[in-house]
Amino acid sequence: MEQTFVMIKPDGVQRGLIGEIISRIERKGLRIVAMRMCQITDETARRHYAEHVEKPFFSSLVDFITSSPVVQMIVEGENAVVVMRTMSGATDPKEALIGTIRGDFGLDVGRNLIHSADSLESAKREIAIHFTEEDVVEYTKADETWVYE
Ligand code: DAT
Ligand code: MG
């Protein structure tokens, strides 16, 4: 089982899409093992997006992600990193396929609704930024024998 870091961004929260997005994660068969709503600080946002510090959009990205509450999750499942990236869709919602979260609900790259870690290494780094071990619950879901062979 793999763990990935997922965050419903301020636009997803403000547009009333928390339930829709969580519902998609549940219906896919993935397991949420940690979850919280919070408003992230400027410092945490800068750590989270450190790889983009030199990009022209960095300061607007940090302003956006700290502007309103987010919902953060650790999502677990086989190939969870790739599966969540596929469900999220391309970075620019204009190019994201219909059927993905960004493709179905977004229009603008600066308002693309969801973050999901792009690799196992990123997932580990991001989980360590946003969660502690005490935040994680270990359990099995009743449907898992019907999700995995
Ligand atoms: P992703 O979120 O798909 O991993 P990323 O890591 O390249 O994409 O960029 C992080 C976020 O920064 C992205 O979700 C939205 C924003 N962003 C990326 N490219 C951008 C651009 N060209 N203009 C404005 N915002 C951009
Ligand atoms: Mg990224």
Q: Which pLDDT band, with edges at 50, 70 and 90, does 95 fall under?
A: very high
Q: Which ligand number lies closest to the CA of residue 89? A: 1
Structure confidence at residue 75 (pLDDT): 98
Q: Which pLDDT band, with edges at 50, 70 and 90, does 97 fall under?
A: very high
Question: Please, are residues 72 and 6 in contact by the beta-carbon 8 Å criterion?
Answer: yes
Q: Report d(CA 129, CA 123) in Å as an integer.
A: 10
Q: Report d(CA 94, CA 42) in Å as an integer.
A: 28
Fold type of domain 2-135: Alpha-Beta Plaits (3.30.70)
Q: Which pLDDT band, with edges at 50, 70 and 90, does 20 fall under?
A: very high
Model confidence pLDDT, tens digit, residues 22-69: 999 999 999 999 999 999 999 999 999 999 999 999 999 999 999 999
CA 144 to ligand 1 center in whole angstroms: 33
Q: Could you tell me the residue ranges of all domains in the chain?
A: 2-135
Structure confidence at residue 6 (pLDDT): 99
Contact 148 CB / ligand 1 (< 6 Å) = no
Q: Which amino acid is at 129?
A: I
Contact 102 CB / ligand 1 (< 6 Å) = no
Location of structure tokens 């709503």: 37
Ligand 1 atom 25, closest CA? 110
Q: Which ligand number lies closest to the CA of residue 11? A: 1
Token pair of 93 as six digits: 């919602």
77 φψ region: left (φ > 0), alpha (ψ -120 to 50), beta (else): left
Element (H, E) at 52: none
Q: Report d(CA 103, CA 66) in Å as an integer.
A: 23
Token pair of 44 as six digits: 């945490």
Model confidence pLDDT, tens digit, residues 98-142: 999 999 999 999 999 999 999 999 999 999 999 999 999 999 999
How far apart, in Å, do the first and last CA atoms of the chain sit? 14
Contact 29 CB / ligand 1 (< 6 Å) = no
